[in-house]
Structure 1
Amino acid sequence: MNTTILIIGATFGALSVILGAFGAHAFKKFMNDEQLKNYETGIKYQMYHAILLIIIGCNAQLFSNIDTLSILFTLGIIFFSFSIYGLTITSALNKKWRFLGPITPIGGLLLVAGWISIIINFI
């Protein structure tokens, strides 16, 4: 078991619930349907990968590349989900932070690289 990865996963999970609640209640007042859908995508990917980090942390002995996995998934969540949050919130406020646009696919690539690293680990 890897306690650090468990804490990171649980933190991302808790933040996903908190940020999801904001999206479902407070942000509904000033976001349109497309913005809410995009925001929800960030929430879902954050939660999926938070759960994955907890699974990895609980089964650390199965992964020879656990440090790489935790870094890829942690950075992937931050770059992917948090850039989506920033883009949707600032867009809803008519102050879209366009510099975040290229960060989202980098986060997606980091998440894909994490999944590929899992495959490589088990080959």
Structure 2
Amino acid sequence: MAQPSSSTPLLPRVGRAFPGPALLWRSGAVIAAVGIIAGAFGAHGLQRRKDITPDQIHAWETASHYAVFNGLALLLVSMHPRFSVHRFAGPAIAAGSVIFSGSIMALVMNRERFRWMGPVTPIGGSIMIAGYLALAL
């Protein structure tokens, strides 16, 4: 077995593009499933908490909707012959979705503890938008 050198990549390409359609498909499926689970939790479990306001429930619904939509979009992107191997678009949509929805959900669950995530939410949204715009270019 050959010893790795400084020019050996950490993730070998093996003729395939990274992230690749399979990873985008799995990411999309997981993000959509988390969005559905979060939506169900928001509709049933979260509304029973007395410390949760209607505005927080609305924010939770927004976060879960965005997760589902972005998960479905990643499933579609993963099937496209050109965009499924795009180095930026899919990963940006996935990362932006996780950051955007995750930060909103964290803020709803414990605003005091995760106060620092308030400014993170628009960063996630911007990354997500950049991913979609990359598909248009």
Give TM-score, length-normalised by structure 2. 0.79
Identity %: 28
The structure with more radius of gyration: 2
Aligned-partner Cα distance in 2 for 1:64–1:14? 20
Moved over 3 A (4+): none
**Structure 2, unaligned runs of 5 or more:** 1-19
**Structure 1, unaligned runs of 5 or more:** none
Aligned-partner Cα distance in 2 for 1:34–1:63? 37
Higher helix content, 1 or 2: 1
Aligned length: 116
Question: Which of 82, 86, 99 matches 2:116?
Answer: 99
Is 1:114 aligned with 2:135? Answer: no
Aligned-partner Cα distance in 1 for 2:83–2:26? 18
Tell me the C-alpha RMSD between the 2 structures. 1.6
Would you say the 8 A contact 2:78–2:84 is kept in 1?
A: no
Aligned pair in 2 of structure 1 residues 21, 64: CA closer, same or farther (>3 Å)? closer
In the TM superposition, what whole-angstrom CA distance separates every residue of 1:9-53 from its partner, at most 9, and x where no partner exists?
001111111111111101001221100000111011111110100
Aligned-partner Cα distance in 1 for 2:133–2:35? 24
